[in-house]
Amino acid sequence: MEKLMDLGHMDNYYEQIVKKKFTTVQMTTYILGIIGIVLVVALSIFFSGIISILIPVALIMIGVGVWLVIYLIKNSGIEYEYTFVVGEMRIEKIKGQSRRKKVAAFDVKDIDDIGKYIDRATGKKTIDTKAYPNILHAEQNELNDDTYYVVIHDKLKGKHALLIFSPNETTLQKLRPYLSIELKKKFLKLQREEQEYKDKEKTETVAQN
Per DSSP, the residues of 49-118 read HH-GGGHHHHHHHHHHHHHHHHHHHHTS-EEEEEEEETTEEEEEEEETTTEEEEEEEEEGGG--EEEESB
Task: State residue 121's pLDDT score.
Answer: 82
Domain range list for the chain:
3-22+77-201, 24-74
User: Using CA atoms in the order 66, 72, 75, 77, what is the torsion angle rounded to 10 degrees?
Assistant: -110
With a CB cutoff of 8 Å and minimum separation 6, the contacts of 99 are none
Task: State residue 8's pLDDT score.
Answer: 41
d(CA 50, CA 64): 21
Task: State residue 199's pLDDT score.
Answer: 81
Task: State residue 99's pLDDT score.
Answer: 81
Task: State residue 201's pLDDT score.
Answer: 79
pTM of the predicted model over 0.85: no
Q: Which parts of the chain sit beneath pLDDT 50?
A: 1-9
